[in-house]
Amino acid sequence: MIKFNEPNDGQVISFKDGSIVTPDKPIVPYIIGDGIGIDVTPVMKRVLNYAIGKAYGVSKEIKWMEIYAGQQALDICGQLLPQETIDAMKKYRVSIKGPLTTPIGNGFKSINVSIRQQLDLFACVRPIRYFPGTNSPMVESNLTDMVVFRENTEDLYSGIEWKPDSDGAKKIIEFIKNELGESPFRFEKNCGIGIKPVSKEGSERLINMAIDFALNEKRDSLTIVHKGNIMKYTEGAFRDWAYELVKNKYHGSVNKDGTYTIKCPKSNHVLTIKDCIADNFLQQIILVPEQHEVIATLNLNGDYISDALAAQVGGIGIAPGANIGDGYGVFEATHGSAESFAGKNRVNPSSIILSGEMMLRYMGWDEAADYVLKGVIGAIQKKQLTFDLARARAGKKFIRPKSKEKNTAEEIKQELMKLVPGATLVSTQGFGDAVIDNM
């Protein structure tokens, strides 16, 4: 059994009347994460602590409590995700984590998926925005400004699958053949099987959260992204349930072009609801990104879309993410663990810093969140960059010479100075300092 070091003077965040209630000294569990988590997570904590102090003085403070998952947990207790970690996330409601790696194959279930399912974090929320000074493949990157709401607990990511030629796969194949009266399988042997559950309840709560966000933030449009032209009873149902919700709960009116309009009763703001087939949507976000603001979609589509959009504004390294349920929020770095860079104090910590900014807003500490955002924007604009962020800004990949010799730090610095003239190359910790200096 694992025991965590709970702060004696901390308080527990509560959930009342559908809202998070944050005390002045909340206990917030954090997971350092695998690989570069050891570099980026401490920097995030330091940046958030400074922003909170700048916004509120000594009246408010996060009481951090380390919990374990991933390799660290495996080393301590032989489990990738101990039950004590899940229990702590439930008790304290709001937590943040560095990148976690799940071994491929070998029967390990994704740690991230397990956390989402066990806490019923049904919405993966990914804001995608452009930070001036960041290079991207887009001519007008500032036109990409979206928030993706991705259903987080169903679809093909639910983990219901059977290995090829396993007894379970054979039984499912036989059952489907009997139900349909014929075999729909091109090849029955060596055939793996996965199940794609999509429910009305699961779809509606995700879409409801997306609509409420769009109305509260006075966004002009919400797009339901689906592949309902092919998967009619799952993806198609998701689209149909969305429009039913718009009509029945929000009293939406249909327009001549088939879209719907909702008027917010408090602000009279008008929101347009439309839908788009997923493959067409992936074209539109490149050709006309300004036509989409808030996105509601299923799990697999949302995974592709979130990362594709992140590339349009400079890469996943500056993309934050949150997993939200009823009264629970887990915020996370959206990139991988990059094991080869672990402990080198070189990588860009923006993703987890900006996820921390999202966490502060979720807690109701908007003033502190504003300072974090201001700091990140200022650091990037002033070219205070880690090597990977500088490389992204230059819009180029760092090309290593064809030799077995590793580049020295000075050689890397000189090369990146050529790519971004006038830049100040900083370490992971140095970028945190730059964010603080620019608040």
Phi, psi of 322, deg, nearest 5: -140, 145
Of these residues, 68, 92, 130, 157, which one is catalytic? 157
Of the residues 165, 212, 279, 437, which is catalytic?
A: 279
DSSP for residue 250: S
Task: List, in sequence order, the alpha helices (H) in 181-298.
Answer: 200-216, 235-248, 278-287
145 catalytic residue (yes or no): no
Q: How far apart are CA 178 and CA 174, in angstroms?
A: 6
Catalytic residue among 130, 227, 371, 433: 227
Q: CA–CA distance from 30 to each of 86, 144, 249, 407, 429 (Å)? A: 12, 31, 37, 34, 18
Q: Quick one: which of 262, 264, 261, 272 has its CA closest to 220?
A: 272
User: Of these residues, 155, 303, 388, 433, which one is catalytic?
Assistant: 303
Backbone CA torsion sign across 133, 371, 436, 307: negative
Task: Return the sign of the alpha-carbon dihedral for residues 163, 168, 170, 172.
Answer: negative
User: Got the DSSP string for 153-179?
Assistant: SSGGGG--EE-TT-HHHHHHHHHHHHH
Active site residue 227: yes
All residues at 6 or more sequence positions from 345 whose CB lies less than 8 Å from its CB, including other chains: 39, 427, 428, 429
183/341 Cα distance (integer angstroms)? 49
157 assigned to active site: yes
Contact 359, 350 (CB under 8 A): no
Asked if 388 and 318 touch (Cβ cutoff 8 Å), the reply is: no
Q: In Å, how far are 1, 55, 125, 134, 269 from 149, measured between CA atoms? A: 36, 29, 5, 24, 21
Q: Give the HSE-up count for residue 129: Cα atoms under 13 Å, Cβ half-sphere.
A: 14
56 is catalytic: no
Positions marked active-site:
157, 227, 279, 303
